[in-house]
Amino acid sequence: MPKDKIILGLDPGTSVMGYGVIQITGNKMSMLQYGVIHLSKYANHEIKLRKIFDRVTSLIEDYAPDEVALEAPFYGKNIQSMLKLGRAQGVAMAAALRLDLPISEYAPKKVKQSVTGNGNASKEQVAEMLKTLLGIKEIPKLLDATDALGVAVCHHFQGGKTASGPKSWKAFINDNPSRVKK
């Protein structure tokens, strides 16, 4: 039987950052909290980073997660946006690392695939599936919150393994003996 644990999922952003906290008890998954951190009201990027660090630290103190899962930034055409997004993710990671929490990253397609079965699902489809899986009463206006819950659920479905997979062919074969043809 799986160990009971709490997972904090984060969807980093520089205007809005989503967070979601789920609890795993035996085979049951339940939502503890989800929401967004509004950052667009701060003009200075450094202040936004400080707010991310403070709020993630506060979430960790409030919910005492065992693990933290983040959505990895997707590659876009605007290098400046990517740099700022990477900084936001780094600050969120630093808040978790400061408290020695294990961190995993998942690509957006991996999260969508894990939650809905379709790596090209829309944010709305992810939110609808999470509504069913976690018993959410109403989908929030800002889907960054459900995106963050999706990251936490993906992490749980992946068994806490990072998206990087096995480190070698030998490790893959050991982990997947049924997939080896003789």
Rounded distance between C-alpha atoms, residue 167 and residue 176, angstroms: 13
62 is in an annotated binding site: no
**Residue-range definition of the domain harbouring residue 158:** 5-179
Provide mean pLDDT across the span 144-149: 96
Tokens of 34: 């989800």
* Higher-pLDDT residue of 127, 79: 127
Number of Cβ within a 10 Å radius of residue 150: 31
Share of the chain above pLDDT 70, in %: 86
Helices and strands: H and E segment counts in the chain: 6, 5
4 is in an annotated binding site: no
> What does the pLDDT look like over 119-139, one tens digit per residue?
999 999 999 999 999 999 888
Report the CATH number at residue 162. 3.30.420.10
User: So which residues are the catalytic ones?
Assistant: 11, 71, 144
Provide the pLDDT for residue 125: 96
54 is in an annotated binding site: no
